[in-house]
Amino acid sequence: MSRIGKLPVSLSEGVKVSVSDGVIKVEGSKGHLERRLPRVIEVEVKENEVLVKPKSRTKTARAIHGTWRSLIRNMVEGVSEGWQKKLELVGTGYRAETTGQELTLTIGFSHTVKMEAPEGISFSVEKNIVTVEGIDKELVGRIADKIRAIRPPEPYKGKGIKYIDEVVRRKPGKAAKAQAGAA
């Protein structure tokens, strides 16, 4: 049995969890999320905690037991506190701005790149840092990854869009290689 799956998910104040017809619904101060449960997983809601159990000892049930416990924990944390990812724009003249639910990026292309925020996601920009916020961890990560994929950081000068805590491995350029070979 999964070590993570055995742990109960504690519910913070104001979070309600209900399970009906194979769908788990989580409601909190920031909003509500719902997700269809697989047939091999059983969810039991107690006073202030949620227990996830496999219905059988099959290989599939054991494999997804811990994963579903983590997904439910992420849902609970999302509706109470929310999730956010921060991206940094590195490069001369690179900038971002928001207008309503739209993010406009000026990142060295001949045109600006516009990205519309899907429902449940909000963008905010402070200097050269773009923050993607929402209650669904999976959706926040997917949108942040789409933004990063527009101009990923390159290894020579480090220019591009990177996560705030990402470390870009730098390569030496031609000049550095020529000096090393001459010495």
**163: pLDDT strictly greater than 80:** yes
CA distance 65 to 9: 13
Q: Are 15 and 76 in contact (CB under 8 A)?
A: yes
User: For position 1, what pLDDT does the model report?
Assistant: 60
CA-based end-to-end distance of the chain: 59
The model's confidence at residue 175, banded by pLDDT at 50, 70 and 90, is: confident
Q: Which of 4, 126, 137, 135 is nearest to 62 (CA)?
A: 4
Q: Coil, helix or strand for 132?
A: strand
Query: What average pLDDT score do residues 58-69 get?
Result: 91
pLDDT-based confidence at residue 183 (cuts at 50, 70, 90)? low
Beta bridge pairs of residue 32: 27
CB 28 within 8 A of CB 73: no
User: Where do the domains of the chain lie, and which CATH numbers do they carry?
Assistant: 3-80 (3.90.930.12), 83-163 (3.90.930.12)
Do the bridges between strand 95-99 and strand 41-45 make them parallel or antiparallel, or are there none, so unpaired? unpaired
Q: 139 and 121 in contact (C-beta within 8 Å)?
A: yes
Concatenated DSSP letters for 47-101?
SSEEEEEESS--HHHHHHHHHHHHHHHHHHHHHHT-EEEEEEEESTT-EEEEETT
CA-atom Rg of the chain in angstroms: 22
What sign results for the dihedral spanned by CA atoms 91, 144, 124, 96?
positive
What does the pLDDT look like over 9-60, one tens digit per residue? 999 889 999 999 999 999 999 999 999 999 999 999 998 999 999 998 889 9
- pLDDT, mean over the chain: 92
Whether residue 4 is predicted with pLDDT greater than 90 in this model: the reply is no
Task: Evaluate if pTM is beyond 0.75.
Answer: yes
Token pair listed for 126: 């402070």
Residue 24 · residue 37 · CB < 8 Å: yes
